[in-house]
């Protein structure tokens, strides 16, 4: 009897303590990708939690589109407050009314950013760079240009993305590298047909792109993200990340607010993320370029930063509309033996 | 009497709840497939069945599921048979290995197959080292790789139903056949195998349906060349937000899968009762 009383009072104390803790701190749920992306989000999220006494929780998305699908599924009763995503995916989410508009007047901290990075429904945070990746120890030659992917010496040694990878950027890159663009895909499609004999396998996520190169399955990955490979680069490394001459394709990591019930604390986080300290910390882990002009990019990627005029501003309204059609073509012509 | 009825109801209630959930899920899937804003209700089905690209998903899915079923049931039967002939300690060991295999994380299991059979895998490196081949043999990133992966994953589903039937076959039947002069092979094909058919049937159905709906294995071991219907549904629903089209593909495959299973079970029942 005595033991039951002791356990009951202990439980009661724990419940009261839990209630008082939850009452004292606001909660913010951040959705992000796993791996290095999670580490980066945790760095800024934990700093935010400490500064504002907010209980920050993290949820992981397998890929960008699955993250948006999650927002869509819980649209009636959102539990995710902040979604890390890409600008093109958040454009789509906004078109489906899945995001809470950013009240710029209520967030003076956003003045830290040039206005072009602050959109109605999301905030651009940093740029990540795309290029080709190869292993010096297994590749038969040093690759320097996109055209090298069609070299017959790479037969059975090449891994390339699916058409849907990174919102269709592989197809766009193929077009850009051959004088086309999202409105003129023919040069890119012809180029993809030329490299087809070299393809060993396809990958649909950036995580897979790293895995196929690291395991030695392929010697070359046709398109990779610098942030994923930066940790493998450096003096003496067998990995090479190349951004060939010509237009450069980037992806813009952005954040959107998904929960109207928690908009106030979400806006506070968005404001926090716009500051140079948070952007420097995040980019230091992710190896990306911050959009805040007062934030510093990490040393590891300084050599890769292209001149701003080389960065191609793709029209994702066109790409999102055309991608299903291009995907069908890719599956019939490229992703088939 | 009342308590017995209440007991039965308590037992049936969870099953009914599960069936209701399944019916709801299937009906919402069907509803999504026929709701076409500004188009005919069958537009998704017409697009799916009218394009070789999408019909190929069905052919590929059924072909891979059939190969997997045949291989898994043959290997599974052999393991199940061995389990009935070995000591209890060895049997326990086999069960433990199968259970561990069943509960291992699928992605890790698949990745281990890549490390074993990949271009740079143990098998290819060994063959290259021995001078048996000049360049790596493609063991994965094709249907063979997907079937190997699916057989590996579905083996427990093949073994246990067959074993549960085999172990119930009285040893006296085999002994009687031997006493009457039957060889081991004849005893197996005329006594043991026909009696084990219900277990084989259960294994076939489970492994076939499991393989038909497989997602991670074809995605990782097919290398983008062997996408099955689940990959199609995932891409359409998640990457393109095209739920209706994804649902139409899933409904067509499910219907054909159920038809195949129904036909198989009817044939099997005839064979068993003949």
Tens digit of pLDDT for each residue in B179-226? 999 898 999 999 999 999 999 999 999 999 999 999 999 999 999 999
Tens digit of pLDDT for each residue in A129-138? 999 999 999 9
Q: Which of A96, A162, A201, A213 to mutate to test the interface with B (most CBs of B within 10 A)?
A: A201
Check CB contact of B32 with chain A, cutoff 8 Å: no
- Same structural domain, B192 and B267: yes
Nearest-5° Cα angle at A131, A127 to A137: 135
Q: Which of A215, A332, A336 sits opposite B115 (nearest CB)?
A: A215
- Same structural domain, B213 and B85: yes
- Same structural domain, B210 and B233: yes
Does the predicted model carry a pTM greater than 0.95? no
HEC secondary structure over A79-128: CCCEEEEEHHHHHHHHHCCCCECCCHHHCHHHHHCCHHHECCCEEEEEEE
- Give the distance from residue A260's alpha carbon to the nearest chain B alpha carbon, in angstroms: 23
Options 3.40.50.2300, 3.40.50.300, 3.40.50.11540, 3.40.190.10; CATH of A12-127+251-305: 3.40.190.10
What is the CATH number assigned to the segment(s) A129-250+309-333?
3.40.190.10
Check CB contact of A336 with chain B, cutoff 8 Å: yes
- Same structural domain, B28 and B124: no
Q: What is the CATH number of the domain that holds B130?
A: 1.10.3720.10
Q: Which of A66, A202, A215 sits opposite B118 (nearest CB)?
A: A215
- Residue A58 pLDDT more than 80? yes
Q: Do B224 and A336 touch (CB under 8 A)?
A: no
- Same structural domain, B98 and B16: no
- Same structural domain, B9 and B126: no
- Same structural domain, B67 and B85: yes
- What domain range includes position B14? 1-34
Residues of B in contact with A332 (CB under 8 A): 53
Q: Do B241 and A72 touch (CB under 8 A)?
A: yes
Class of residue B144 by CB neighbours under 10 A (exposed 0-12, middle 13-18, buried 19+): middle
pLDDT of residue A282: 95
Q: How far is CA A144 from CA A151, A240, A275, in A?
A: 12, 10, 36
Backbone angles phi, psi at A168, to 5 degrees: 90, 10
Number of domains observed in the structure of chain B? 2
- Same structural domain, B68 and B4: no
- Same structural domain, B161 and B198: yes
Tens digit of pLDDT for each residue in A134-192? 999 999 999 999 999 999 999 999 999 999 999 899 999 999 999 999 999 999 999 99
- Same structural domain, B138 and B47: yes
- Same structural domain, B30 and B46: no
pLDDT of residue A23: 47
Q: Which of A203, A217, A323 sits opposite B119 (nearest CB)?
A: A217
Check CB contact of A197 with chain B, cutoff 8 Å: no
Neighbour count for residue A194 (Cβ, 10 Å): 15
User: B52-85 and B143-166 are packed helices; what angle lies between their axes, rounded to 10 degrees?
Assistant: 40
Q: Which of B53, B142, B219 sits opposite A328 (nearest CB)?
A: B53
Residues of chain A with CATH 3.40.190.10: 12-127+251-305, 129-250+309-333
Check CB contact of A94 with chain B, cutoff 8 Å: no
d(CA A212, CA A290): 29
Tens digit of pLDDT for each residue in A246-277? 999 988 999 999 999 999 999 999 999 999 99
pLDDT of residue B172: 92
- Same structural domain, B46 and B115: yes
Tens digit of pLDDT for each residue in A11-33? 555 555 554 444 456 999 999 99
User: Among all chains, which residue has been given the structure tokens 């292209």?
Assistant: A306
Check CB contact of B242 with chain A, cutoff 8 Å: yes
Q: Span A34-48, mean pLDDT?
A: 94
Check CB contact of B120 with chain A, cutoff 8 Å: yes
Q: Do B141 and A201 touch (CB under 8 A)?
A: yes
């Amino acid at each position: 009897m005595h033991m039951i009383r002791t356990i009951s009072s202990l439980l009661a104390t724990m419940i009261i303590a839990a209630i008082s803790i939850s009452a004292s701190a606001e909660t913010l749920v951040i959705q992000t990708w796993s791996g290095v992306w999670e580490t980066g989000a945790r760095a800024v999220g934990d700093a935010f939690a400490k500064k504002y006494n907010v209980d920050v929780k993290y949820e992981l998305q397998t890929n960008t589109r699955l993250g948006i699908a999650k927002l869509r599924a819980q649209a009636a009763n959102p539990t995710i407050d902040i979604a890390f995503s890409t600008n093109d995916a958040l454009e789509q989410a906004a078109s489906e009314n899945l995001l809470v508009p950013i009240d710029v007047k209520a967030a003076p901290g956003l003045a830290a950013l040039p206005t072009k990075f602050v959109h109605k429904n999301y905030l651009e945070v940093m740029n990540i760079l795309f290029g080709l990746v190869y292993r010096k120890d297994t590749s038969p030659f040093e690759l320097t240009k996109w055209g090298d992917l069609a070299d017959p010496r790479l037969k059975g040694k090449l891994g390339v993305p699916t058409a849907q990878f990174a919102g269709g950027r592989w197809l766009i890159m193929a077009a850009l590298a051959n004088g086309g663009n999202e409105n003129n895909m023919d040069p890119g499609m012809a180029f993809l047909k030329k490299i087809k004999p070299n393809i060993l396998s396809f990958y649909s996520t950036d995580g897979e792109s790293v895995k196929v190169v690291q395991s030695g399955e392929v010697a070359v990955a046709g398109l990779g993200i610098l942030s994923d490979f930066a940790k493998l680069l450096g003096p003496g490394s067998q990995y090479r990340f190349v951004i060939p001459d010509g237009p450069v394709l980037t992806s813009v990591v952005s954040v959107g607010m998904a929960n109207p019930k928690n908009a106030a604390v979400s806006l506070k986080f968005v404001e926090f993320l716009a500051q140079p300290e948070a952007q420097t910390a995040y980019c230091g882990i992710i190896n990306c370029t911050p959009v805040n002009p007062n934030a510093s990019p990490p040393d590891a990627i300084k050599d890769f930063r292209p001149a701003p005029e080389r960065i191609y501003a793709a029209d994702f309204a066109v790409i999102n509309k055309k991608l299903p059609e291009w995907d069908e073509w890719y599956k019939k012509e490229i992703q088939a033996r | 009497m009342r308590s017995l009825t209440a007991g039965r109801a308590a037992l049936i209630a969870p099953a009914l709840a599960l069936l209701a959930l399944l019916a709801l899920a299937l009906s919402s899937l069907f509803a999504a497939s026929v709701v076409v804003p500004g188009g005919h209700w069958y537009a998704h089905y017409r697009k799916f069945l009218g394009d070789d690209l999408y019909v190929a998903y069905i052919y590929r899915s059924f072909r891979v599921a059939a190969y997997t079923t045949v291989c898994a049931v043959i290997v599974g039967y052999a393991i199940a048979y061995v389990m009935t002939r070995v000591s209890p300690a060895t049997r326990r060991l086999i069960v433990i290995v199968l259970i561990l295999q069943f509960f291992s994380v699928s992605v890790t299991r698949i990745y281990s197959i890549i490390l074993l059979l990949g271009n740079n895998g143990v098998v290819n490196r060994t063959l290259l080292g021995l001078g048996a081949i000049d360049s790596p043999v493609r063991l994965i990133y094709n249907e063979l790789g997907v079937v190997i992966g699916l057989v590996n994953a579905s083996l427990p589903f093949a073994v246990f139903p067959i074993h549960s039937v085999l172990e119930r076959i009285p040893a006296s039947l085999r002994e009687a056949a031997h006493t009457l002069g039957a060889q081991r092979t004849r005893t197996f094909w005329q006594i043991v195998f026909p009696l084990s058919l219900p277990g084989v049937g259960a294994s076939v159905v489970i492994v076939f349906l499991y393989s038909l709906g497989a997602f991670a294995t074809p995605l990782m071991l097919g290398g983008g060349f062997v996408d099955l219907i689940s990959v199609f549904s995932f891409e359409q629903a998640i990457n393109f937000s095209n739920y209706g089209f994804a649902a139409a593909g899933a409904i067509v495959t499910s219907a054909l899968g159920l038809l195949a299973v129904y036909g198989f079970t009817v044939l099997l029942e005839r064979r068993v009762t003949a």
